[in-house]
Amino acid sequence: MNTLAFEKYESEVRSYCRHFPTVFTKSKGAFFFDEDGNKYIDFFCGAGAVNYGHNNDYIKEKVLDYIANDGITHSLDMYTTAKRDFIEYFEEKVLKPRDLDYKIMFPGPTGTNAVEAALKLARKYTKRRTVWALMGAFHGMTLGALALTTDKASRRGAGVPLDSNVVHIPAPYMFPELDTIKYMETLLTDDHSGVEKPAAFVIETIQAEGGIQVFDVEWLKRVREFCTKHEILLIVDDIQVGCARSGTFFSFERAGIKPDIFTLSKSIGGYGFPLALTLFKPELDVFTPGEHNGTFRGNQIAFITAKAGLEYMLSHNIEAETRRKGEIEKEFIEKEILPLDSRIKMRGIGLIWGIDFSEIPVKGFADKVQDYAFAHKLIIEGAGRKNAVLKTMPPLIIEDETLLEGLGILRDAIKEVLKEENK
């Protein structure tokens, strides 16, 4: 394993490679391969960017064809057949059947770009300055999105104050005795709250980086009602838990709610190519031409893979399969992992499950489990406060057998670390 080039020339900002210290060469389905010939089960899934598997053959064929035929690779936001085909398919097969009437905007290619566009639009439309977000949120690393993101380590890098345009609301799991909706009502109605009416309330329906916190349907419905009542725009960030991860294509479907604005990225690109979408109700479309411009808005190759990804998702029943595999995983965790120690907790839905070690008073417990798992060829990443939660997020196409094998490695890793700690 030769990592000299990275260590010598790549910035200290590099991150995931520190947890997974090898040099990867290939990937397929739910597996990664490194240059030393090792095969790893992937429970990280590019942070949710390759839900349909690494190098999915169906999608690969489409993109190879497109490139072989000199399909356009770059065209700013000019009209192309690739973009038209994607828009029409997405509209017909995904939005319409769910009765979702939205305009689609292609901001820059990453998730944080989609969030920035959503914030800009919400502020422009409402002519209000502040935005509310939840504690525990992760929405990206550029300044606007970072102002919503709450973890200290990320915010520290900003170098400027982030708090002048954002108010953070406690997430409902933080103080179970606090009715967060009533709290927000009070912020608006109490003439001594000191808080002004926001342009928007931004939420994830499942906080992924926040430690796999799944918000219940009742709470989500009340959030929708609250926002409607006060004419505050509801923005749902579906960048990580969208694209069928939660068992329905959009994570907000389970609550039967419709956001005013929502964001998609990661797996909407289908094949790991960067693509981001900001979607909003047609009446919110107050941008003037070029007002949120950019060179890489709507990656043409990603339009091909995005459409192919949706075709694959629909023809392979990925939503139902995700729910079915999620049950397998839930049962495994309940039967094989929770009994290892009463302080271990689990949370999740679909194929995103968190194993929470925060009640175990050993510094870096989850990191040790992660390291052991990696040494035994499982790639899994941490999340949540103090990084005390391990997030299992395999590609949705993972075979049952591989899912169970990966979970077995995770169980053995936890067992081993518990044994070490109890020595």
Ligand X SMILES: Cc1ncc(COP(=O)(O)O)c(C=O)c1O
For residues 205 and 251, the answer to whether their CB atoms sit within 8 Å is: yes
Smallest gap from Cβ 68 to ligand X, in A, equals 29
Return the number of the residue (141 or 188) whose C-beta is nearest ligand X.
Answer: 141
For residues 334 and 355, the answer to whether their CB atoms sit within 8 Å is: no
Footprint (CB under 6 A) of ligand X, residues 235-254: 237, 239-240
Return the number of the residue (59 or 146) whose C-beta is nearest ligand X.
Answer: 146
Return the number of the residue (238 or 409) whose C-beta is nearest ligand X.
Answer: 238
Out of 53, 111, 172, 269, name the contact with ligand X by CB under 6 A.
111
Smallest gap from Cβ 125 to ligand X, in A, equals 21
User: In the structure encoding, which two tokens stand for residue 39, read together?
Assistant: 């095969």
Q: Which stretch binds ligand X (CB under 6 A): 90-98, 135-143, 155-163, 167-175?
A: 135-143
Phi, psi of 379 (to 5 degrees): -100, 120
Strand partners, 390: 355, 382
Burial status of residue 71 (CB atoms within 10 A of its CB: 0-12, 13-18, 19 or more): middle
- Total residues contacting ligand X by CB under 6 A comes to 15
Return the number of the residue (139 or 307) whose C-beta is nearest ligand X.
Answer: 139
Footprint (CB under 6 A) of ligand X, residues 197-236: 204, 208-209
Q: Does 146 bind ligand X (CB under 6 A)?
A: no
SS3 114: helix
Return the number of the residue (212 or 313) whose C-beta is nearest ligand X.
Answer: 212
Return the number of the residue (66 or 219) whose C-beta is nearest ligand X.
Answer: 219
Phi, psi of 341 (to 5 degrees): -165, 130
Q: How many alpha carbons lie under 13 Å from residue 206 in its C-beta half-sphere? A: 29
Out of 20, 66, 106, 138, name the contact with ligand X by CB under 6 A.
138
| β-pairing verdict for 277-280 and 261-264 | antiparallel
Q: Does 126 bind ligand X (CB under 6 A)?
A: no
CB-based contacts of 17, cutoff 8 Å, min separation 6: 3, 6
CB-based contacts of 328, cutoff 8 Å, min separation 6: 400, 403, 404
Which residue has its beta carbon closest to ligand X?
111
Spatial CA neighbour of 210 closest among 248, 285, 154: 154
How many whole angstroms separate alpha carbon 203 and alpha carbon 221?
13
How many whole angstroms separate alpha carbon 137 and alpha carbon 133?
7
Q: Which stretch binds ligand X (CB under 6 A): 106-114, 163-171, 330-338, 413-421?
A: 106-114
Out of 140, 210, 247, 309, name the contact with ligand X by CB under 6 A.
140
Return the number of the residue (239 or 418) whose C-beta is nearest ligand X.
Answer: 239
Out of 27, 56, 110, 305, name the contact with ligand X by CB under 6 A.
110
Return the number of the residue (134 or 232) whose C-beta is nearest ligand X.
Answer: 134
How many whole angstroms separate alpha carbon 336 and alpha carbon 202?
36
Q: Does 115 bind ligand X (CB under 6 A)?
A: yes
Phi, psi of 356 (to 5 degrees): -105, 120
Binding mask 149-188 for ligand X (x = CB under 6 A): ----------------------------------------
Smallest gap from Cβ 151 to ligand X, in A, equals 12
Q: Does 116 bind ligand X (CB under 6 A)?
A: no
Q: Dihedral of CA 77/83/84/89: which sign?
A: negative
Q: Does 47 bind ligand X (CB under 6 A)?
A: yes
Return the number of the residue (237 or 321) whose C-beta is nearest ligand X.
Answer: 237
Strand partners, 353: 348, 392
Q: Dihedral of CA 216/196/260/293: which sign?
A: negative
- Residue ranges in contact with ligand X by CB under 6 A: 47, 110-112, 115, 138-140, 204, 208-209, 237, 239-240, 265
